[in-house]
Structure 1
Amino acid sequence: MGKTDKGLTLRFITLAIGMFAIGTDSFVVAGILPSVAKDLDVDVPTSAELITAYALSYAILSPVVAAVAARVPRRLLLIIGLVVFIVGNIGTGLAPGFEAALGFRVVAALGGAMFTPTAAGVVVALAGPERRGTALSILFGGLSAATALGSPIGTAISGFTDWRGTMVFVAAVGLLAAVAISVALPSVPSPPAVTLKQRLSPVTDPRIALALLLVLVAYSGLFILYTYVSQIFAPATDGSGRALAWLLFAWGIAAVVGNMTAGRLTDKLGNRVVINTAGVIAVVVFATTPWTSPHLATAVVAVMLWGACGWAMLVPIQHRLAGVNPEVAQMSISLSSSANYVGVSLAPVIGRFFLDHGVDMRYLGMPSAAIVVAGLLIGEAGYLLIKRGMRRAQAGDGDAPADVRAVTAR
């Protein structure tokens, strides 16, 4: 690896530290829901609205912030985003009641909305097409590393202190990320100003729209179980917060491996193979949770397969979006982040719907698996549409999309 490659990799890792902070905040709340519910005097499904508030606010604010702050220097925007994120988490930890906590989750989401799409855009700009998959896997490796370390550490902290101590920990991680970026990341040129209408324009391309819908649907299914992970695997952990932290650690380690492996496999095999293989394995894991969740040994195997496959899907989907139309790749990836968070925000709502309509907590994995299957079918429809456009272009059809030859899907 040459000096240039090493320099780029260091920049990607620096941004991944920030993603680690954002990811820790996104995933740690699920592990502390019982503690939050008890302290704020609400039930667990209601406390799960903290996850929905954060994820939905992020999804809505992300494209808006990207358009409004288009002329702000990239490094400055990254640091400001982390400062807002820190304020939101400290406020959540000091909140006197549930409504105040919800409000500060929106503030934290604003910080995440400022940081994540900006970081993804910087990575795409710095990495050439031949390194795009690997570069994205490094960046989003920060998110998967948050599941491996940040979330279980935060869950364990709540066992020693309470959930408020966990939020202080998240804020401290955000501060560390802000310092690292201010020191290690050089100035990055701002992209040309793009209006909100232009930023949303990739959705009008059905190939991109189907990829975004794949993200939304698949990740709503993937995160239903994560929302209620403390309850679903309570028989295996005996309700112990420390045991749950170790289970989340196993989930996160597998997520890191799945994410990093997916980047290389996507560059080698193409995104379709990685998306479908990982998705089918996740479906099988979810459908069998009634039999794997009661025992610690089988629970560990299940959550590791789940973590690896869930995170292995993200990079190839980003890869597909970047390749469909390279001219709008940064905007497409930004929208995919919003779609991801819409899916995550819907997960607690969908999970509560099933629980309220007679589905036992033990069997919640079955409707979750069905939703992931629906996402895979949507993704397959998008792939077939891309292939049809490529065939038309190869046949000299003048009506084929002008950018179709740049498609990297295989």
Structure 2
Amino acid sequence: MNASPPALDSADTDISVSSSSASRVDFLRAVLALGVGGFAIGTGEFVIMGLLPEVAKDIAVTIPQAGHVISAYALGVVIGAPVLAVLAAGWGRRALLIALMAVFAAGNFASAMAPGYVSLNLLRFATGLPHGTYFGVAALVAATLAPPGRRARAVGLVMLGLTGATLVGVPIAAWLGQLFGWRAAFVFVGVIALIAVVLLRRDIPDLAAPAGASPWRELGALKRKQVWFTLGIGAIGFGGMFSVFSYIKPTLIEVAGLPLGGVPFVLALFGLGMVAGNLVGSRLADKSLMRTIGGLLVYAALVLAVFTFAAHNVYTAAFNVFLIGTTVAIGPALQIRLMDVAGDAQTLAAALNHSAFNMANALGAWLGGVAIAAGLGWTSTGWVGALLALAGMGVFWWAVTSARASERPGATQRAPSAS
């Protein structure tokens, strides 16, 4: 099977708007609208990690048990991304984005009213369902409007809403949660999501679904081996960050001796690291996609391993948390890789990238909780994270080896370039 050229450059692209027809102002307004939606989702996804002790106390469970709320949301993303991307294959892109964001808003308002542990888990699962499809479609819109050679940077601009949430949205929501209770944080997220709905309706063109779009065509992505390899890299290798960050608040307080009032400032450092990593990683990916992916996995393993030692001092811990935030630099690179290997099944492949990331969320949070519950200490999450990053490197090596093997003369299937 011959490799398809990147679908964003073909006549069958999911978004029937050429970059030459979109003015810079229209592009920036569209990216801003998409980014506000990402800001809402990022705030909703990450704020719970800074409020686990409050949640655990309010619903009468342990902190590791409260961590399952994080996993429930992530599981919703993992399941919702492929299901909704396939079922909505024939939807217009603006209508789909608006519907997804409206569901996300409703889920956060409902989460704020959850009476107990079981209901909160179920509601966080439901709230996570639109996450992956939203980002998949948003990335396709941005990448299609981007000038040649700048696709990763365009995706990075959309992801800037997600990463920027950890710099601004999460600290504000965490402060509101500490001041008025953790439920207020979810109300805050719901309000931002409603603002995003308004901006999406105003600034995103009324784009029809691509010609020939169907659930069966989208499912074709699942037949491509390199799609699965790329998803595996994200699902495993990116889990290391979540193994540490899911328990960052109690670790900083119990191990580093950070006062409770200092937690929002450290969370802001993490967000600043995410913004920096997103900007740098997207530029590197436009220059050398596969080298960027491999190099960032090694970098993540080193930074996460160092956390085990750095966590014993407030200042070294804070700096290391910033560095851990920069490991999200791999996100735009994996998104573009999926677009390149997905052929004409763009929506599903793009959405599955966020399924993989949230599978990493669930895996990292769960393994980190297992290590803590086993008595290995709060800092054991650093070793767990480093091992996950190295495991992701193993999947990356397997993907490159497989792609090169299929490029040899006589190979029956040619994979997209691994260079």
TM-score (norm 2): 0.89
CA shift digits 1:255-282 (9 cap, x unpaired):
11110111111112x1222223322222
* 2:271 aligned residue: 252
1:315-394 equivalences in 2 (<5 Å): 315-390=332-407, 392=408
Amino acid in the other structure paired with 1:317: L
3-state SS in 2 of match to 1:94? coil
* 2:16 aligned residue: none
* 2:291 aligned residue: 273
Contact 2:90 2:214 (C-alpha < 8 Å) held by counterparts: no
Higher helix share: 1
Amino acid in the other structure paired with 1:161: F
Amino acid in the other structure paired with 2:412: D
Judged with a 3 Å threshold, the aligned counterparts in structure 2 of structure 1 residues 196 and 233 are, in CA distance, closer, same or farther, namely farther
Please tell me whether residue 37 in structure 1 is matched to residue 42 in structure 2: no
3-state SS in 2 of match to 1:189? coil
Amino acid in the other structure paired with 1:60: I
Give the drift of 1:8.
2.1
Judged with a 3 Å threshold, the aligned counterparts in structure 2 of structure 1 residues 44 and 184 are, in CA distance, closer, same or farther, namely same
CA shift digits 1:349-382 (9 cap, x unpaired):
2122222333221222112201110101211221
* 2:6 aligned residue: none
Partners of 2:412 and 2:315 in 1: how far apart?
Answer: 56
1:150-229 equivalences in 2 (<5 Å): 150-192=169-211, 194=213, 196=215, 198-229=217-248
Give the drift of 1:173.
1.1
Judged with a 3 Å threshold, the aligned counterparts in structure 2 of structure 1 residues 98 and 229 are, in CA distance, closer, same or farther, namely same
Partners of 1:271 and 1:241 in 2: how far apart?
Answer: 41
Judged with a 3 Å threshold, the aligned counterparts in structure 2 of structure 1 residues 188 and 236 are, in CA distance, closer, same or farther, namely farther
Identity between Structure 1 and Structure 2 (%):
28
Contact 1:63 1:196 (C-alpha < 8 Å) held by counterparts: no
Judged with a 3 Å threshold, the aligned counterparts in structure 2 of structure 1 residues 243 and 328 are, in CA distance, closer, same or farther, namely same
Which of residues 399, 403, 412 in structure 2 aligns to 1:399?
412
Judged with a 3 Å threshold, the aligned counterparts in structure 2 of structure 1 residues 303 and 244 are, in CA distance, closer, same or farther, namely same
* 1:234 aligned residue: 253
Q: Tell me which of the two structures has the higher relative contact order, counting C-alpha pairs closer than 8 angstroms and 6 or more residues apart.
A: 2
Q: How many residues get paired?
A: 400
Larger deviation, residues 55-64 vs 286-295: 286-295
Judged with a 3 Å threshold, the aligned counterparts in structure 2 of structure 1 residues 68 and 203 are, in CA distance, closer, same or farther, namely closer
Give the drift of 1:77.
1.6
Amino acid in the other structure paired with 1:149: V
Partners of 1:346 and 1:208 in 2: how far apart?
Answer: 20
Partners of 1:330 and 1:103 in 2: how far apart?
Answer: 26
Give the drift of 1:114.
4.7
Partners of 1:388 and 1:319 in 2: how far apart?
Answer: 22
Give the drift of 1:215.
0.5
CA shift digits 1:17-69 (9 cap, x unpaired):
11111111111110011000111111111111111111101111111111222
Please tell me whether residue 9 in structure 1 is matched to residue 28 in structure 2: yes
Amino acid in the other structure paired with 2:341: V
Partners of 1:204 and 1:165 in 2: how far apart?
Answer: 44
CA shift digits 1:284-309 (9 cap, x unpaired):
2211223211222111210111111x
Which of residues 303, 308, 312 in structure 2 aligns to 1:290?
308
| Unpaired runs of at least 5, structure 1 | none
1:104-119 equivalences in 2 (<5 Å): 104-119=123-138
Amino acid in the other structure paired with 1:258: G
